[in-house]
Structures are given as C-alpha cells and as structure tokens.
C-alpha cells in the first residue's frame, strides 16, 4: 500500500479522495490550511472517519501558497514513513465574474493557488521521489481546459489550463526518474463540492454592474444549465473512485489521462487528439521513451 499526500483536502474532491484512498488501505495525508483554525472541523471529521472505518487517514498542515509550509509537510511525512509514494495535486480556487472586473493581482492570486501551488509542492516532494526512482504524481485537472467554457469563469479556466500544461511537461521530465504521471479530468459537477459556493468575486463592483446591464443573471443561468446537463445519477464520488483505480494500478501501466465528466462538455474529444499528437511528436523527435516511466 502507498503513502499518499493530497493537497486541498478539507472538502470537495480532496476530502472524498482522501477517504476513498484510506478506505482502500492506503496511508493518506489529507493536507489543508488552518488545521487549528477554520479547518479544525474538517480535521475532526477526518479523525472520526479514520476511527469509524479503521482507516489510516491523517491530516497535516500545508498551505500551497507557502514553500516553507510545503517543505515542512513533506519533511514530516518522510520522517514518519521514509517516503511519499503518491502526490495528488488537488488544491484549487474558483472565481466567478466578468474577466475585465478582476484586477491583475486578483488573477495572479488564482494562478498562485492553482498553478504555482503545484510547483511549490513538487519542489518539496519530487527530490525524494527522484532519489528513490519511483512515484506517482496525480493531477486533478478540469474539463474546462479543453472542453466547453461558459463565460464568467475566465481566471479559473486559464489557471486550470496552465496547470494542465505544467502537468504534461512534468510527465516528460519525470519519466526517466521512473516517476509516473496521471491526470484526472473532472467535469462540471455542480453539487457535492464547494467550488461554486466558495468561489471568489472581483472587487471591482462598478465593472460588474456595467456587465450586469447586458449579462444580467448570467452566472445563475450558467449554473442552472450546467446542473441540467448532468444526468440524475451523476456522483462526484466517481472522481475519487477514479483516483483510487489509478493508484491501485501497477506502476508503469497507469493511464495518462482519465475523464470523469457526466455532462460530456467535449473535453475528452479534444484531449484524445492532443494526447495523440503529444505521443506522435515525441516519437518523431526520438523521445518516445518519455511517454512511460522507466529507470
């Protein structure tokens, strides 16, 4: 069984995935900010789940916006277990509103969490994986990177696309260290997570009002239509189940990308082409060995 670190695991996909992996027999560290503050209830809930299910689910302080915090969390896990086998990049933050209303600093904040946060955790965890010549880096992406993209979500969509591009490049660069990469691509689940409920808003209310004159109620319309697109049996827990299947697959045989998109926004169609082009291009330039992990 593996030692797993999951970022942003106080709620949503992260919390569900942490519980599913722990139930499957893995030692799971559900990381989050403010474990003794606003996320103290999430810490208590995780501890109760561990007791009730005889599962090895633990919580740990990790703020993806701090390199010092990422370094400390990784060091603590390695000290306790000797290694981290699986790193799950899940931490993310959504914002909603007209793109123009966001200041550059507000958009940079979204990038800092969704993109730079993965880089901080990678810089903390990858040296150990490279030294051991083994590991799995699993990224929780978004169908918005390549599928249907409704308006008023531009900063979030751009950040998730940036994270996806980073994940693809990392896959090539980690392969010769025998570190595997998988990308899980959830669709627009409008229930079962707090993405929309906890989404940020732009501070420039004057610009928001200007857009409301032409786009009144747009975000509510988008949310309603996204919810209607999903089939009645759409279950956000399927994302966690997909992660468990990937982690439990033997090293070297894991899928590069898995879509979990009940609404079927077209992302999988585009990804199949993009990933095929990646395979063909690396082969053409004599780097086909980067398509799979190896020593």
Pick the catalytic residue: 111, 156, 170, 211? Answer: 156
Who contacts 89 (Cβ-Cβ below 8 Å, separation ≥6)? Answer: 7, 117, 118, 121, 137, 138, 139, 140, 163, 167
- In the residue annotation, 215 being an active-site residue is answered as no
Catalytic annotation, residues: 156
């Amino acid at each position: 069984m593996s030692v797993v670190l999951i970022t942003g695991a106080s709620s949503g996909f992260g919390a569900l995935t942490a519980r599913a992996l722990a139930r499957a027999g893995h030692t799971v560290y559900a990381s989050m900010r403010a474990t003794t503050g606003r996320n103290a209830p999430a810490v208590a809930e995780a501890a109760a789940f561990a007791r009730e299910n005889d599962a090895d689910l633990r919580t740990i302080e990790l703020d993806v916006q701090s390199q010092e915090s990422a370094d400390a969390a990784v060091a603590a896990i390695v000290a306790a277990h000797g290694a981290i086998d699986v790193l799950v990049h899940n931490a993310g933050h959504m914002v909603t509103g007209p793109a123009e209303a966001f200041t550059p600093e507000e958009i940079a904040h979204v990038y800092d969490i969704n993109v730079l946060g993965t880089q901080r955790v990678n810089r903390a965890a990858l040296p150990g994986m490279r030294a051991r010549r083994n590991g799995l880096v699993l990224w929780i992406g978004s169908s918005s990177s390549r599928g249907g993209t409704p308006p008023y979500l531009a900063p979030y969509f751009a950040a998730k696309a940036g994270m996806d591009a980073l994940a693809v490049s990392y896959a090539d660069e980690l392969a010769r260290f025998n570190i595997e990469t998988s990308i899980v691509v959830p669709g627009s689940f409008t229930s079962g997570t707090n993405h929309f409920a906890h989404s940020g808003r732009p501070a420039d209310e004057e610009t928001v009002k200007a857009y409301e004159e032409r786009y009144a109620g747009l975000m509510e319309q988008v949310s309603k239509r996204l919810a209607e697109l999903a089939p009645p049996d759409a279950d956000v827990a399927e994302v966690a189940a997909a992660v468990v299947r990937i982690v439990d697959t033997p090293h070297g045989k894991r899928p590069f990308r898995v879509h979990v998109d009940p609404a079927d926004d077209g992302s999988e169609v585009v990804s199949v082409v993009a990933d095929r082009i990646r395979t063909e291009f690396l082969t053409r330039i004599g780097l086909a060995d980067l398509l799979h992990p190896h020593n």
